[in-house]
Amino acid sequence: MPAGAAFACLGECMVELRARPDGLLSRAFGGDTLNTALYLARLGVGVDYVTALGDDDLSGEMLAAWAAEGIGTAHVRRVPGRLPGLYLIETDGRGERRFLHWREAAPVRRLFDPDEADATEAALAQSQRVYLSGITLSLFAPPARARLVATLTRLRAAGGHVVFDTNYRPRGWPDPAEAWSAFAEVIALSHTVFASVEDMAHLTGEAAPEAILARLDGAGVAEAVVKLDRPACLVRHGGCTEAVPAAEVAPVLDTTAAGDSFAAGYLAARLAGRDPPAAARAGHRLAGAVVRHPGAIIPRAAMPAPEDPA
């Protein structure tokens, strides 16, 4: 990993298609952990992306775009003959999004296959902080997830931090029970967890925020952020819980990457020495800018100005 890289983000980036008002489609790229990596890089955090792409021109465009954003690409595998996944964003009148995916043969799914796993594990082992999500876990079959969990176990034993965002998408799993079993293994290894009331209600039937925090406490999570069913979150750290509301945002054009950018804003603020409530406010601020634009990645000019750390 390049010197100074604070995070390794593990997951998938796909080609993003979005319907325009004229009926045509615009093309970009995105994926939950890639979105977080990109916003971390824009906030000045050293970050590497660990994934796999094809040997096609679209994959090459992605790599060039990531490098231009300052994301480390040394651990991106290129798989001959494969193509990246693709998703289409549909949004309703409130900006709420729905995704349609074409990703079953995406090369990232091979990262923990026997012939690729050693290189993937070595890439993650070079970082002291690994960020992944529930979507990351859904990419891998149970034997591959077991290798990933073993890698994270070694990282944690060596003093590293695992950061996990629940980010549950039902279509990626046979059923909520299998998803929760996989999530619970990673949560038990995580220093920081981003969860949501919506995700946890689907996964465990638990929708009370304080009960969710208690569950995460019981799993040994040192720092937890629970996103509520309104523009606010609960932050728990050092035995203290604080509610942190988000400022009202209008108009909301597209909620794609709202949670991914929140995580980036939060983690960048924590690395800069801000306390968890201040970090949550930074996360809300970045997410508030992102939802006012279509697609996962907003223009650089639309990034919020740096806050005064005082």
- Compute the mean pLDDT over every residue in the chain, rounded to the nearest whole number: 93
In contact, 208 and 200? CB cutoff 8 Å: no
Q: Is 60 exceeded by the pLDDT of residue 2?
A: no
At 299 the pLDDT is: 95
Our CA angle for 69, 75, 79, nearest 5°, is: 105
3-state helix, strand, coil in the chain (%, to 5): 40, 25, 35
At 5 the pLDDT is: 76
The stretch 135-141 carries a mean pLDDT of 96
At 249 the pLDDT is: 92
At 101 the pLDDT is: 80
| Residues catalogued as catalytic | 260
At 93 the pLDDT is: 67
Q: Which of the four pLDDT bands, split at 50, 70 and 90, describes residue 282?
A: very high
What the block records as the tokens of 196 is 């949501």
How confident is the model over 247-271, as pLDDT tens digits?
A: 999 999 889 899 999 999 999 999 9
H or E stretch including 249? none
d(CA 288, CA 163): 22
At 187 the pLDDT is: 98
The stretch 149-154 carries a mean pLDDT of 96
How confident is the model over 16-43, as pLDDT tens digits?
A: 888 888 888 989 898 999 999 999 999 9
CATH superfamily of 5-13+31-79+112-302: Ribokinase (3.40.1190.20)
The pTM score is: 0.93
The stretch 66-81 carries a mean pLDDT of 96
291 or 97: whose pLDDT is higher?
Answer: 291
The stretch 90-113 carries a mean pLDDT of 80
The stretch 57-83 carries a mean pLDDT of 95
Q: Which of the four pLDDT bands, split at 50, 70 and 90, describes residue 4?
A: very low
Q: Lowest mean pLDDT: which of 10-19, 129-138, 273-282?
A: 10-19
Q: Is 22 exposed, middle or buried (0-12, 13-18, 19+ CB in 10 A)?
A: exposed
Q: Which of the four pLDDT bands, split at 50, 70 and 90, describes residue 95?
A: low
